[in-house]
């Protein structure tokens, strides 16, 4: 029996894998604080990933006629290294770029950042977490001094009087997490802010709470309105603000213009509901004798061009009420990808080094360079965020080669048609994957790598809890770990430093590189994790107990105080018009994960959700002449997609919803736009203007 964790989302449900080979392995849940003996459909079927029919087991090289042929590892790596050298000679080190993923183990994410900067010598590395957590991270860093998805254990939610979910559909994305809302639902305190009446919004029925169904893209205005009421009605925690927070007066002045009547006109949320929500939060706050309140953000509120400002305003609200660092309250962001937290802490982001150190900081560069055994000037400077990186591919001054690890960008990136064209223009594309994803099928080389139950490593959950991933079965013959691939290519490219291939050795190096950083793993070891310790970072020493709750006494800022930051509403990058009169929002469904490259290959999951759909309100369906069995086309200035209609009163009449897990004709990211938040680089997935029509056959 092997104790490990589910390969999918950041809840990282604990599971035990039975003895046997890959064909007979069975996953069952085990007791753990986050999942409490529960798993969703994806977790129960996770072992099927090990035996999918088109599992990659041998390196593939594209031929001149577009087909793939099998090649040996040495031949593949020799040619890749030679082509990298040729690109660097003609275009410089930044002629090569790297795109990582939030599902990589901490060890692989760390080594990928090191490989990009020392072996490829490029500054151009970013990852798909830019599509997931970047706005929440940027907001938390500028207000609280550190980014950790949940700075408190998930179990704290159950005892609160109020939990507000801004744009999070936990019931579909992380079903086992819903049990932590049982207590607050019994007290009628669950508030869900979402343009859809999602599965999570339906949890507020029968007196369990309230659904706030706002106009897409107006989340920031709603929060500014809540802040207005809290200040105007003297509901703030004045003692907390005086003792622990700067910037209060600037925020107070900035929200004065967002009185409830104005908020209602912009958001579609009534003045009464705005006031009621603000008072509910205040009454639940500890300074007014309440049982506690938590404000949580998800992708629905974050994936906008003003996503960083929206999360900043939510944190401002939490600070105004004295919730951040309180025993019975706080702010948190629901991390999505399996290692979305750890994946962004140790070097995949364009501006960061391990330990959440900023790459432009001379002291950070000196520390990491010493661990790597190189000079600080051998580490390149900051790169560019993911969307900008993808847009630069194949341009006259842009990269000519791309390495892709743990991401399926031609499905998951915005304006996916443009991304495909960029990839097709490159001189070299190398994809490491377990299956022939849509992106892999555009590569010049596809390299087969180990997956979750075939490897050791660590993951960091949405709570900042570091977990052990343990090998349960051997990988198929011919499959290699990415740690081995990095080492083999680094040797061929005559990279400086040492290149360990054993996960434990890589993690020990990561610990040293992170020591003293904001995400300090120095005191976390395989031995401590294997002994059963639940260690949350920061954990700076071998005898440190870890830090489940942040901010109890101070904030990791130079002053030790948090900063409220005044923000202003700008609105979506695109607005509805006569030619595009409907808002499109995208999201996940219960059966699938991310781009669907894995879950679409699991029969039980794909059988119950085999293709995309368009959720459409009955009034809009009637207006365009659509019935439930009809196909709908959705078109923007960037492209179009089609799927079957799903008529439902759960969506606003001015909005349609499409899940983003599908390719081909159901590829909704062919329609979305690549406008980004100017602070975080987050794409505006959650709102764009489209036309909808019945598809004529």
Reported as a single tens digit per residue, the pLDDT across 153-194 is 999 999 999 999 999 999 999 999 999 999 999 999 999 999
Model confidence pLDDT, tens digit, residues 618-641: 999 999 999 888 999 999 999 999
How confident is the model over 26-42, as a mean pLDDT?
Answer: 94
pLDDT score of 528 more than 70: yes
Residue 522 domain boundaries: 60-126+339-536
Residue percentage of the chain with pLDDT more than 90: 96
- Any domain includes 158: yes
pLDDT band at 363 (very low <50, low <70, confident <90, very high): very high
Mean pLDDT of all residues in the chain? 96
SS3 264: helix
pLDDT of amino acid 696: 75
Say if residue 245 is in the same domain as residue 263.
yes
Say if residue 515 is in the same domain as residue 422.
yes
- Any domain includes 355: yes
- Any domain includes 564: no
SS3 240: helix
By C-alpha distance, which of 32, 24, 20, 1 is closest to 459? 32
Q: What is the DSSP string of 49-105?
A: GGG-TT---S-EEE-TTS-EEE--HHHHHHHHHHHHHHHHHHH-GGGEEEEE-TTS-
pLDDT of amino acid 628: 81
β strands within 406-464, DSSP E: 428-433, 445-448, 457-460
Cα(242)–Cα(560) distance, integer angstroms: 13
pLDDT of amino acid 20: 74
Q: Answer yes or no: are the C-beta atoms of 5 and 469 closer than 8 Å.
A: yes
SS3 16: strand
Q: Of the residues 278, 299, 333, which one is the last residue of a structural domain?
A: 333
pLDDT band at 33 (very low <50, low <70, confident <90, very high): very high
Q: What is the DSSP string of 32-54?
A: -TTTTT---HHHHTGGGGGG-TT
Say if residue 324 is in the same domain as residue 348.
no
Say if residue 88 is in the same domain as residue 198.
no
By C-alpha distance, which of 120, 107, 61 is closest to 400? 120
Residue percentage of the chain with pLDDT more than 70: 100
- Assign residue 632 the CATH number of its domain: 2.40.40.20
Say if residue 348 is in the same domain as residue 495.
yes
- Any domain includes 15: yes
pLDDT of amino acid 19: 78
- Assign residue 445 the CATH number of its domain: 3.40.50.740
Length in residues, the chain: 697
- Which pTM was predicted? 0.97
pLDDT score of 230 more than 80: yes
Structural domain count of the chain: 4
Query: Is residue 163 exposed (0-12), middle (13-18) or buried (19+ Cβ within 10 Å)?
Result: buried
Say if residue 300 is in the same domain as residue 235.
yes
Model confidence pLDDT, tens digit, residues 466-515: 999 999 999 999 999 999 999 999 999 999 999 999 999 999 999 999 99
Compare 343 and 221 and report the one with higher pLDDT: 221
Say if residue 210 is in the same domain as residue 188.
yes
Residue 476 is given by DSSP the state: P
- Any domain includes 557: no
Q: Answer yes or no: are the C-beta atoms of 632 and 695 closer than 8 Å.
A: yes
Say if residue 622 is in the same domain as residue 485.
no
Q: Of the residues 333, 350, 377, which one is the last residue of a structural domain?
A: 333
pLDDT score of 22 more than 80: no
- Upstream peptide bond of 538 is cis (omega within 30 degrees of 0): yes
Say if residue 112 is in the same domain as residue 43.
no
- Any domain includes 145: no
pLDDT band at 21 (very low <50, low <70, confident <90, very high): confident
pLDDT of amino acid 697: 63
- Assign residue 11 the CATH number of its domain: 2.20.25
Say if residue 76 is in the same domain as residue 203.
no
pLDDT of amino acid 75: 98
pLDDT of amino acid 533: 79
pLDDT of amino acid 522: 98
How confident is the model over 103-130, as a mean pLDDT?
Answer: 97
How confident is the model over 409-414, as a mean pLDDT?
Answer: 97
For residue 92, report the phi and psi dihedrals to the nearest 5 degrees.
Answer: 85, 170
């Amino acid at each position: 029996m092997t104790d490990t964790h589910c390969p999918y989302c950041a809840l990282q449900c604990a599971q035990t894998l039975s003895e046997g080979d890959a064909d007979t392995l069975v996953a069952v849940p085990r007791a753990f604080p986050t999942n409490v003996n529960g798993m969703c459909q994806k977790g129960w079927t996770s072992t099927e990933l090990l035996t999918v029919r088109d599992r990659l087991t041998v390196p593939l090289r594209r031929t001149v006629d577009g087909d793939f042929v099998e090649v040996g590892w040495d031949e593949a790596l020799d040619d890749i290294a030679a082509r990298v050298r040729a690109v660097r000679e003609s275009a410089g080190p930044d002629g090569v770029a790297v795109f990582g993923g939030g599902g990589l183990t901490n060890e692989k994410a760390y080594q990928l950042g090191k490989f990009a900067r020392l072996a490829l010598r490029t500054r151009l590395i970013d990852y798909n977490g830019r599509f997931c957590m970047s706005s929440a991270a940027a907001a938390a860093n500028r207000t609280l001094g550190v980014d950790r998805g949940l700075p408190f254990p998930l179990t704290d939610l159950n005892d609160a009087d109020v939990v507000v979910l801004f744009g999070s559909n936990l019931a579909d994305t992380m079903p086992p997490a819903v049990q932590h809302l049982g207590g607050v639902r019994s007290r009628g305190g669950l508030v869900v802010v979402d343009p859809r009446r999602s599965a999570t919004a339906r949890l507020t029925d029968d007196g369990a709470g309230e659904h706030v169904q706002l106009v897409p893209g107006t989340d920031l205005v709603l929060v500014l309105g809540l802040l207005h009421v809290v200040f105007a009605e003297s509901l703030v925690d004045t003692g907390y603000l005086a003792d622990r927070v700067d910037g209060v007066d600037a925020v107070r002045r900035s929200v004065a213009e967002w009185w409830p009547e104005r908020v209602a006109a912009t958001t579609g949320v009534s003045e009464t509901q705005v006031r009621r929500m603000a008072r509910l939060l205040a009454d639940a706050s500890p300074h007014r004798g309440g049982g506690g309140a938590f404000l949580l953000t998800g992708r629905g509120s974050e994936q906008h061009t003003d996503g960083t400002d929206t999360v900043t305003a939510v944190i401002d609200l939490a600070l105004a009420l004295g919730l951040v660092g309180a025993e019975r309250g706080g702010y948190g962001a629901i991390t999505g990808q399996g290692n979305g937290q750890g994946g962004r802490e140790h070097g995949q982001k364009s501006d960061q080094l391990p330990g959440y150190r900023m790459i432009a900081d001379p002291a950070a560069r000196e520390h990491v360079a010493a661990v790597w055994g190189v000079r600080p000037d051998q580490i390149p400077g900051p790169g560019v965020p993911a969307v900008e990186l993808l847009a630069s591919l194949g341009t006259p001054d842009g990269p000519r080669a791309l390495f892709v690890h743990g991401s399926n960008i031609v499905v998951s990136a915005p304006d996916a048609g443009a991304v495909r064209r960029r990839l097709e223009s490159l001189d070299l594309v190398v994809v490491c994957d377990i299956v022939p994803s849509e992106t892999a099928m555009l590569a010049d080389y596809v390299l087969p790598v180990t997956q979750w139950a075939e490897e050791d490593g660590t993951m960091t959950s949405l709570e900042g809890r570091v977990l052990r991933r343990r090998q349960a079965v051997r990988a198929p013959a011919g499959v290699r770990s990415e740690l081995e691939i990095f080492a083999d290519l680094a040797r061929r490219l005559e990279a400086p430093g040492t290149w360990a291939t054993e996960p434990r050795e890589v993690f020990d190096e990561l610990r040293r590189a992170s020591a003293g950083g904001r995400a300090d793993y120095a005191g976390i070891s395989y031995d401590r994790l294997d002994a059963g310790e639940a260690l949350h970072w920061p954990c700076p020493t071998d005898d440190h107990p870890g830090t489940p709750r942040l901010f109890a006494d101070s904030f990791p800022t130079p002053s030790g105080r948090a900063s409220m930051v005044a923000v202003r509403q700008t609105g979506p990058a695109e607005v509805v018009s006569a030619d595009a009169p409907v808002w499109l929002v995208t999201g996940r469904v219960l059966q699938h994960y991310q781009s669907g490259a894995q879950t679409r290959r699991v029969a039980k999951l794909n059988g119950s959700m085999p293709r995309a759909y368009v959720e459409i309100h009955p009034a809009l369906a009637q207006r365009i002449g659509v019935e439930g069995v009809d196909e709908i086309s959705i078109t923007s200035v960037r492209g179009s997609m089609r799927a079957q209609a799903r008529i439902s009163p759960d969506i606003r009449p001015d909005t349609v919803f499409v899940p983003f897990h599908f390719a081909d004709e159901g590829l909704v990211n062919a329609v979305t736009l690549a406008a980004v938040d100017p602070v975080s680089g987050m794409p505006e997935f959650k709102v764009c203007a489209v036309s909808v029509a019945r598809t004529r056959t």
